[in-house]
Structure 1
Amino acid sequence: MASTTVTCKGQVTISVDLSNQLGLGTGDHVEFILNDETGHYEVVRATCSVKALKGIIRKPAVLVSIEDINSVIGEQGASAR
C-alpha cells in the first residue's frame, strides 16, 4: 500500500511507482472521487481538456460546403418520406 504525507500547504507527493501505475506524467492532474459504496476516495487520472484534442483528427481531403451538406440532408429527408 502506498502512503504519503500532507504538507502544510495541503499538497501530497505521489510516489514514482504509483504515478507509473496511474499513467501520470509531469503536469498531469488527478481527481479524488468518493466511492459511495465504500466511503473511500479513489485517485484517478483526470481527463484532458477539449483544447488538448486539437489536431488529433486530420483535415479532410475534400472540403464540403455547408450548402452541399444541407442539400444532401434535404435529399435524404425527401427520399425518406
Structure 2
Amino acid sequence: MNGKFDFTEMLTSGHQFFIGTNFVNPGETVLAQIAMNTTQHCEGKLEVGMEFKFCEGNIIIGIGKIIEIINKSLEKVNT
C-alpha cells in the first residue's frame, strides 16, 4: 500500500489488513488497519477524520479516512 497525505508530497508505504474480509471490490467500503513502514514524516501530523489517498504509483485507487490513531506520536497536537 502507498498512501498520500495532503501535508506532504511523499508517499508512505505500509501494510494494510482488511477487517472482516480478505478482498475489496471497486466501490466497496471496508475497515482496515494500516501499519506504516516509516513514520518520521508523519509524526505529529495525523488526526482522526483526516483523509488520505491509496495509490499505485501515480494512480489513485482509493480514499481512506483515519478513525483511530494507535501510535500517539503520529497524532497532531492542537495548540
TM-score, reference length from structure 1: 0.28
**Which has a greater percent of strand?**
2
User: Highest relative contact order (Cα 8 Å, sep 6+), 1 or 2?
Assistant: 2
**Which has a greater percent of helix?**
1
Structure exhibiting the larger radius of gyration computed from Cα positions: 1
